[in-house]
Structure 1
Amino acid sequence: MHGTLARLAEWWALGGGLLLLAIVAVTSWNAGAFLLSWLGLGTQGLPGYEDAVRLMVSAAALMFFPLCQLRRGHVAVDLFVRALPGGLRRGLDRLWLAATAAAALFLGYWMVIGLLETRADRTASSILGWPEWPFYAPGVISLALWAAIAAVQCGEAAAEETGHGA
């Protein structure tokens, strides 16, 4: 697990980080242009700024989920589970890993449906006119990678429980 899937999750999150840097750059440029305009220097913001940022955020947001799952960085409610016997805690962990994998696959399925419908409808952003369906693809990939990591973690936990190692 710490091989190919781990590297994919790391590179995928790096891609999400690069998108966030682009969002920050575009936002900074636009904010600077509005400030200059407010000071009377006759500069304007970037046309279609809202379209570009909305589409980039929608792509970048899910790109961090696989790495978060890989590192077990998700929120864990430990308060009550801490007092449970070890076997029950491990069983709950496997249950939630399986549920996470199933939920990510479910969401990915519906995102594929949304991608296909958006493509068929030729939906475009309102100002720039960019087709919106390509911005679904990073989300689909993110959800598939997230599900794969959670499923592998679940399998590893089960193998450790039965003493077969992972």
Structure 2
Amino acid sequence: MNLSSIVHALAKWLAIIGGLFLVAITVMTVVSIVGRSLIFAGLGPVPGDFELVEAGTGFAVFAFLPWCQLNRGHASVDLFTNYLPPAANRVLDLLWEIVLGFVTFLIAWRLWIGMLEKRDYGEITFILQIPIWWGMALCAVATVVGVLVAAYMIVIRAMEVVQGRALLGPTTGAIH
């Protein structure tokens, strides 16, 4: 198995796990809403539903980002770059990958620091009394994968500039 396959598999499975988290919190939200509407029948909301939604959604967002970056799924606005030669666009792609890689690293670093602080202070959620750092740890794992994908994409874009051709195909992201 080569590096490309490993990076693609890692990003893909992380996105799938993020999707499963979204399905789970959606089902839990429906159960909670139905429970609220049936309070007269002795049911009620899922305790701490908003705490679980908050942590699960945060993880899902971070879980989707590496797959999005790998597939060039981030939105781009090509007002003038469509008129540039392919070589110039490859250089711009490399520059933006470097910027995105730096931002991804910055988010991962600060999320890690924040997670350690929440752990050290013993901060917990209000209703479920779950340590807050647990959700942040899940997000931190996803951002580490994001940093790996970002580094991989920087190398790919640099190789495209050097070789003078696209290696991963054209942009498939949302173009506005």
- TM-score of the superposed pair, with normalisation by structure 1: 0.91
Shift of 1:147: 2.2
Partner of 2:69: 69
- 1:30 aligns to what? 32
Q: Which amino acid aligns with 2:33?
A: A
2: distance between equivalents of 1:160 and 1:30? 50
Which deviations, in whole Å up to 9, do the C-alpha atoms of 1:107-137 show, x marking residues without a partner? 1100010000000010000111000101112
Q: TM-score, normalised by structure 2?
A: 0.86
Question: In the alignment, which residue of structure 2 is the partner of 1:17?
Answer: 19
2: CA distance between counterparts of 1:62 and 1:16? 8
Contact 1:63 1:138 in 2 (8 A): no
**Structure 2: how far apart are the matches of 1:137 and 1:55?**
10
Q: 1:162 to 1:55 in 2, by over 3 A?
A: closer
Partner of 1:97: 97
Aligned residues: 164
Q: Which SS does the other structure have where 1:125 is aligned?
A: coil
Tell me how far apart the structure 2 counterparts of residues 70 and 17 of structure 1 sit (CA, whole Å).
Answer: 17
1:159 Cα deviation from its structure 2 partner: 1.6
Superimposed CA distance per residue, residues 50-104 of structure 1 (whole angstroms, 9 cap, x where no aligned partner):
2222222222221100010111100111122111222221111000001111110
Q: Which runs of 5+ in 2 are unaligned?
A: 168-176
Offset of residue 2 of structure 1: 3.1
Look up the match of 2:129.
129
Computed over aligned residues only, the root mean square deviation of the Cα atoms, in angstroms, reads: 1.7
Q: Runs of at least 4 residues of structure 1 off by over 3 A? A: none
Moved more, 80-89 or 26-35: 80-89
Q: Give the 3-state SS of the residue equivalent to 1:3 in structure 2.
A: helix
Q: Which moved more, 1:49-58 or 1:65-74?
A: 49-58
Task: Provide the residue aligned with 2:7 in structure 1.
Answer: 5
For structure 1, which runs of at least 5 residues remain unmatched after alignment?
A: none
Separation in structure 2 between the aligned mates of residue 56 and residue 118 of structure 1, nearest angstrom? 17
Q: Which amino acid aligns with 2:124?
A: A
Identity of aligned residues (%): 30
Partner of 2:140: 140
Question: 1:156 & 1:162 partners in 2: Cα distance?
Answer: 10
Q: Which amino acid aligns with 1:154?
A: I
Q: Is the 8 A contact 1:100 1:147 kept in 2?
A: no
